[in-house]
Structure 1
Amino acid sequence: MYTIIDYIIAFVLSLVVSIAITPFTIKFAKKFGFVDKPDYRKVHTELMPRIGGLSILIGATAGLLYLNKLIPLLWPVLLGGAVIIIIGIFDDKYTLSAKVKFLGQIVAASIVVAFDFNIDFITLPFMEERIYLGPFSYVIGVFWIVAITNAINLIDGLDGLASGVSVIAMTSIMSLAALNGHFIVVSLTVILIGSTIGFMFFNFHPAKIFMGDTGALFLGYCISIISLMGLYKSVTIFSLVVPIIILAVPIFDTLFAIIRRILNKQKISAPDKSHLHHRLITMGFSHRETVLTIYAISAFFGLAAIIFTRSTLWGSIAVITVVLILIQVIAELVGLIGSHKPLLNAFKKMRANMNQSYK
């Protein structure tokens, strides 16, 4: 549909527009009260503009207008995205309840899957038998979109964290889409990566603006859609694993948060300071070190997903095994050190000695 030159132009256009518009977004946020107030679970100590998602949206829109042949194919996705953006804007201004945001996400997801953006059947390995999902395909589609949207939103706790993890995930998806000839997915990821990187010039620590729910929900929604499109219509059991590996950091951070809140008899939507990034900061990592560490983990999972798709059956099983073990080790190690004071103090002392030796 488009040439490599078209993709480069779309990327640069999205990047430049996002960079150019963000200073105006900062002024707009401050003038009209789209600000994030500090509290006990946040790391910033002053009011911060938090509607940076508008910059990502406008940058991506510029790229999409250049790749305009996609628009007729994607109008249900654009309509659902409009619902997500409206929810995000209102939340950044008025702080909506979790129920209202959840309902809005279901509406947006339902619009998309109602127009056949879903998985019709699954092919079992070792045989050609197909399992047709029927009405469950719509349920699975809505669940996936809502789950990934919230997963990206929940990791948006440090400067540049959600935006960087999203760029890494989208780059992995784009690489796989290019290898498999899914050029609509390539087109979408190119413009989203460009606009998000443009925003990151202002969002990386120390941030001048937060993406807010406008950005986090929008990016989560877009990633959920493009990962579904990469699987479009028919998948094998093993290919279902690919987007889960790519998005392992936000998915498992969210899953552990849900389990933790259930065990502590809290509401699932109740905020806390036990996410992966909170734990790493508690262990003595600086803001920037924490973000870069999670970037590295995300990049590892993205690379693992690419290796997974190019491997033999037994190689794929080996990759899954390594990934699951690594997730468990990270969770156990971070949780153990973060909650055990003697270990935590010893770890901080070790890090202090290492930092001193580097100096």
Structure 2
Amino acid sequence: MENLYIIITAFIVAVLLGRIIIPNILIISLRKRLFDEPDARKIHKRPIPRLGGVTFFPVIVFTMCTFTAVRILGGQPLMEILNVKTIYELLFLISGLTLLYIVGIADDLVGVRYRKKFLVQILSAAAFPVSGLYINSFYGLFGIHEVIPSVGIPLTILLVVFITNAINLIDGIDGLASGLSMVALVIFGVIFVHYQYWVYALLAFACVGVIIPFFSYNVFGNADRGRKIFMGDTGSLTLGYILSFFVIKYCMYDPYSVILQSSDSSPVLVAFSVLMVPCLDVVRVVLRRARNGKQLFLPDKTHIHHKFLAMGFSPRRALVTIQLMSALFCAFTITAIHFMDNTLVFVIDVLVWTGLNVWFDKIINKREKR
């Protein structure tokens, strides 16, 4: 129970720190005119401060370090809290986050070419295999179990870059990226609490804590009064990278781990289910751009939230509907893996997603013909 109390306290501290820092970032942004300017692709109609994500990294690191120290000072043996493997993982996580934090701030302030951002993302993603974390099993998905390092390590780097960009690209309407990330972080946090991985649970709920005050300003803030803020690339890259860390950590098979992952469990699908909407949306958009001969990494208005807006949804209704859709996908996948083959569950998810998008396109076409 002591560890739970520490996690709850850390969560509250992260909320309070976010609540203190974000108004000050708003003031600085307004004075220095650090705005996200509206254009034809964006939803907002007036300049909005875009540095909300600057809050995430320092609050998360501060909360993690402080309450890990509290656990040690409370008499818990250091090696029970941080074994050598965990220390490697967390240090390389912070190293990668630092690189992304720097490039995110640079992008939000002056802009960074996507090639340079990809290079930094690849370097940050490579930190996980260096720390010993990589995808080493598919748990029977597509009939694949063990994955050799020469395949698993490049796959891990690709997956980290993919998830990081998925969160970045889904950040198109108020609260969508932060809301989806918050739900995913809560699920991972509960999983790690269940398996008594307290350090990772602390990290997950510290992230949730700092997102909550941002979410309130982002979704409910009044732009006319200067009380609205966006997370920018700094925030979305931070959240995407941390989520990818949790995905790899949870999916990596370790017979000596506290998490007893047997061949009939499906951590890959569980991890996939909590991020299904942003991940499948990126795949759909990239395939569509490739089919139409467009550049794959230039922004457009073809993401799932743009479809809901084109169908006549308000941004708030689109946010709630996409969150609900994500929750239903997650609930189905987590339930179905206990009764069905992993590959079949994955195929059903993809088919349902494809069918929904075809249906959305038909609705949009009918509205445009009227």
- Bin for the TM-score computed over the shorter chain: 0.7 to 0.9
Task: Please tell me whether the aligned partners of residues 34 and 49 of structure 1 are also in contact (alpha carbons under 8 angstroms).
Answer: yes
Q: Please list the CA deviations of residues 171-195 of structure 1 after superposition, one character each: whole Å capped at 9, or x if unmatched.
A: 2222333344443332221111111
Task: Please tell me whether the aligned partners of residues 15 and 195 of structure 1 are also in contact (alpha carbons under 8 angstroms).
Answer: yes
Give the alignment partner of residue 331 of structure 1, picking from 357, 360, 367: 357
Matches within 5 A, 1:158-197: 158-197=173-212
SS of match in other structure, 1:39: coil
Q: Please list the CA deviations of residues 107-132 of structure 1 after superposition, one character each: whole Å capped at 9, or x if unmatched.
A: 111123222121334554899x9634
TM-score (norm 2): 0.84
In the aligned structure 1, how far is the partner of 2:141 from the partner of 2:312?
Answer: 45
Q: 24-33 or 65-74, which moves further after superposition?
A: 65-74
2:37 equivalent in structure 1: 37
Q: Give 1:303 deviation, angstroms.
A: 2.6
Give the alignment partner of residue 244 of structure 2, picking from 224, 240, 244: 224
In the aligned structure 1, how far is the partner of 2:125 from the partner of 2:251?
Answer: 16
Task: Please tell me whether the aligned partners of residues 137 and 147 of structure 2 are also in contact (alpha carbons under 8 angstroms).
Answer: yes
Give the alignment partner of residue 199 of structure 1, picking from 202, 214, 222: 214
The answer to whether 1:215 aligns with 2:243 is no
1:301 equivalent in structure 2: 329
Give the alignment partner of residue 295 of structure 2, picking from 267, 270, 276: 267
2:98 equivalent in structure 1: 82
Task: Please tell me whether the aligned partners of residues 269 and 342 of structure 2 are also in contact (alpha carbons under 8 angstroms).
Answer: no
Give the alignment partner of residue 138 of structure 1, picking from 148, 153, 162: 153
Could you tell me which amino acid in structure 1 is paired with residue 159 of structure 2?
Answer: W
In the aligned structure 2, how far is the partner of 1:323 from the partner of 1:287?
Answer: 25
In the aligned structure 1, how far is the partner of 2:229 from the partner of 2:132?
Answer: 37
SS of match in other structure, 1:131: coil
SS of match in other structure, 2:149: coil
Q: Please list the CA deviations of residues 117-151 of structure 1 after superposition, one character each: whole Å capped at 9, or x if unmatched.
A: 21334554899x96341222220111111000000
Could you tell me which amino acid in structure 1 is paired with residue 46 of structure 2?
Answer: E
In the aligned structure 1, how far is the partner of 2:107 from the partner of 2:302?
Answer: 23
In the aligned structure 2, how far is the partner of 1:57 from the partner of 1:174?
Answer: 18
Task: Give the % identical residues.
Answer: 28
Could you tell me which amino acid in structure 2 is paired with residue 339 of structure 1?
Answer: N
SS of match in other structure, 2:7: helix
In the aligned structure 1, how far is the partner of 2:96 from the partner of 2:290?
Answer: 31
Q: Give 1:319 deviation, angstroms.
A: 4.7
SS of match in other structure, 1:3: helix
2:74 equivalent in structure 1: none
Could you tell me which amino acid in structure 2 is paired with residue 228 of structure 1?
Answer: I
What's the C-alpha RMSD, in Å, of the aligned pairs?
A: 2.6
In the aligned structure 2, how far is the partner of 1:149 from the partner of 1:166?
Answer: 11
> CA, structure 1 residues 82+188, in 2 after alignment: closer, same or farther (shift >3 Å)?
same
Q: Give 1:19 deviation, angstroms.
A: 1.1
The answer to whether 1:14 aligns with 2:29 is no
2:72 equivalent in structure 1: none
Q: Give 1:91 deviation, angstroms.
A: 0.3
Count of matched residue pairs: 341
Q: Give 1:317 deviation, angstroms.
A: 6.3
> CA, structure 1 residues 78+226, in 2 after alignment: closer, same or farther (shift >3 Å)?
same
Give structure 1 regions of 4+ aligned residues with deviation exceeding 6 angstroms: none
> CA, structure 1 residues 77+262, in 2 after alignment: closer, same or farther (shift >3 Å)?
same
Task: Please tell me whether the aligned partners of residues 273 and 329 of structure 2 are also in contact (alpha carbons under 8 angstroms).
Answer: yes
Structure 2 unaligned residues grouped into runs of 5+: 70-81, 255-260
Structure 1 unaligned residues grouped into runs of 5+: 346-359
In the aligned structure 1, how far is the partner of 2:365 from the partner of 2:117?
Answer: 32
Task: Please tell me whether the aligned partners of residues 163 and 244 of structure 2 are also in contact (alpha carbons under 8 angstroms).
Answer: yes
1:5 equivalent in structure 2: 5
In the aligned structure 1, how far is the partner of 2:343 from the partner of 2:21?
Answer: 45
Task: Please tell me whether the aligned partners of residues 250 and 267 of structure 2 are also in contact (alpha carbons under 8 angstroms).
Answer: no
Could you tell me which amino acid in structure 1 is paired with residue 353 of structure 2?
Answer: I
Q: Please list the CA deviations of residues 158-180 of structure 1 after superposition, one character each: whole Å capped at 9, or x if unmatched.
A: 11111011111112222333344
Task: Please tell me whether the aligned partners of residues 49 and 210 of structure 1 are also in contact (alpha carbons under 8 angstroms).
Answer: yes
Q: 105-114 or 179-188, which moves further after superposition?
A: 179-188
2:305 equivalent in structure 1: 277
> CA, structure 1 residues 187+43, in 2 after alignment: closer, same or farther (shift >3 Å)?
same
Could you tell me which amino acid in structure 2 is paired with residue 334 of structure 1?
Answer: F
The answer to whether 1:242 aligns with 2:270 is yes
Task: Please tell me whether the aligned partners of residues 51 and 212 of structure 1 are also in contact (alpha carbons under 8 angstroms).
Answer: yes
